[in-house]
Amino acid sequence: MSRRDFVLSELGLTPLWVRPERITRSMAAASAETGQPGPQPVAQAVPQPVAMEPAPLQPTMRSAADAVRSAIADAAPALRPPLAATSPNPAPATRGAPVQQVKLVIGEGARAERIASLDWQALQREVAGCTACGLCQTRTQTVFGVGNPQAELLVVGEAPGAEEDRQGEPFVGAAGKLLDNLLAAIGEKRGERVFIANVLKCRPPGNRNPQAEEVLQCAPFLARQIALIRPRLIFAVGRFAIQTLLQTEAPVGALRGKVHEVDGIPVVVGYHPAYLLRNLPDKARAWHDLLLVEDQLTQLAGKQG
Ligand code: SF4
């Protein structure tokens, strides 16, 4: 592999993300074949995660986070899905700061209680016909999620975009391809041990930020998906999904590199693939997030046998 190809590969500008150690091995093999010294691994120059100063939330994000906190405060214990009481997942290992433990937002009232009792098929039907918020008027179709209902890894993003709205599947198009490549880099694949969903099941017009009321109405669906799937690990990508799940206004940079916990399920956070497509330097940090996901899945699989 030429130095140019290697650098491009390290920056993620290849069809498939490849583990750095595999690249290093292939470089060594190529060097041995040619008798020429190979380039030095760029991985040594990859920037490490750095603490970032908190950035003020946009008004819609702040109102959504406030609504989330309010919903948690108001939620009666009886409304919580079974997952909250009897999670099979052990306490996760931590890196750096202490684990943040939060309760899952499940919405409020009789509707949320009814959704919390649905099985998988009934939940799919309920989402498909949902008119609980104004997004039903502008969507082409709902986007329930895709993958294995008994997945070990649940990837949670923000909301469907234009292409997802057209196809009815989350994370398609360029961002979806990057997500698939990221998952492939740690040996995971959409539809095998992975389920992919969004916080919102309908596309906000013009890809605007979700509004607090939309999050409140849609939250019971994600809560029920999590309760039914019972994944070993949740990988939340993008600021909105992360802040909604963890009920915090902290920036992504301050939440990365740690294992959080929602209703007893370990949560690792990372950048949204669409953001990574626009911010090349953060791909190196995204790789560290993926390694934490892989590390946690391995640890949790060992603990659970
Ligand atoms: S975004 Fe969620 S709550 Fe709103 S209409 Fe779609 S499925 Fe229903």
Centre of ligand 1 from the C-alpha of residue 136, in Å = 6
Query: What's the helix, strand, coil split of the chain in %, to 5?
Result: 50, 10, 40
Taking the C-alpha atoms of residue 249 and residue 56, their distance in angstroms, rounded to an integer, is 8
Alpha carbon nearest to ligand 1 atom 4, residue: 133
Buried residues in 49-67 as b, exposed as e (16+ CB within 10 A): eeeeeeeebeebbebbbeb
Alpha carbon nearest to ligand 1 atom 6, residue: 202
What number does the ligand 1 atom closest to the CA of 139 have? 6
Pairing of strands 194-198, 146-147: antiparallel
Q: What are 157's strand-pairing partners?
A: 198
Centre of ligand 1 from the C-alpha of residue 135, in Å = 6
pLDDT in the model for residue 1: 57
Alpha carbon nearest to ligand 1 atom 1, residue: 202
Q: Any idea where the domains of the chain sit in the sequence?
A: 3-45, 59-304
Residues 197, 155 contacting (CB under 8 angstroms)? yes
pLDDT in the model for residue 176: 93
Centre of ligand 1 from the C-alpha of residue 250, in Å = 26
The pTM (predicted TM-score) of the whole model is: 0.71
Residues 191, 170 contacting (CB under 8 angstroms)? no
Centre of ligand 1 from the C-alpha of residue 143, in Å = 10
CB under 6 Å to ligand 1: residues? 127, 130-133, 135-136, 142, 200-202, 214, 217-218
Task: List Cβ neighbours of 302 (8 Å cut-off, separation of 6 or more).
Answer: none
pLDDT mean for each 10 residues of the chain (305 residues): 51 51 45 44 34 39 41 32 31 43 68 95 98 97 97 96 95 93 92 95 93 93 96 95 92 92 94 90 87 93 73
What number does the ligand 1 atom closest to the CA of 127 have? 7
Taking the C-alpha atoms of residue 291 and residue 286, their distance in angstroms, rounded to an integer, is 9
pLDDT in the model for residue 95: 44
Encoding tokens for residue 214?
């939309």
Pairing of strands 153-157, 233-237: parallel
Residues 102, 251 contacting (CB under 8 angstroms)? no
Collapsing DSSP states into helix, strand and coil, what is residue 239? Answer: helix
What number does the ligand 1 atom closest to the CA of 136 have? 5
Taking the C-alpha atoms of residue 34 and residue 202, their distance in angstroms, rounded to an integer, is 54
Q: Give, for ligand 1, the residue of 115, 126, 142 to mutate: max count of ligand atoms closer than 8 Å to Cβ.
A: 142
In CATH terms, the fold of domain 59-304 is Uracil-DNA Glycosylase, subunit E (3.40.470)
Nearest-CA neighbor of 296 among 263, 244, 242, 257? 257
Beta strands in 148-193 (DSSP E): 153-157
Residues 250, 85 contacting (CB under 8 angstroms)? no
Residues 224, 154 contacting (CB under 8 angstroms)? no
Centre of ligand 1 from the C-alpha of residue 61, in Å = 17
Tally Cβ neighbours within 10 Å of residue 300.
19
For the four alpha carbons of 99, 46, 234 and 151, in that order, the dihedral sign comes to negative
Encoding tokens for residue 97?
């700061």
Alpha carbon nearest to ligand 1 atom 2, residue: 218
Taking the C-alpha atoms of residue 143 and residue 133, their distance in angstroms, rounded to an integer, is 15
**287, exposed or middle or buried, with CB in 10 Å at 0-12, 13-18, 19+?**
buried
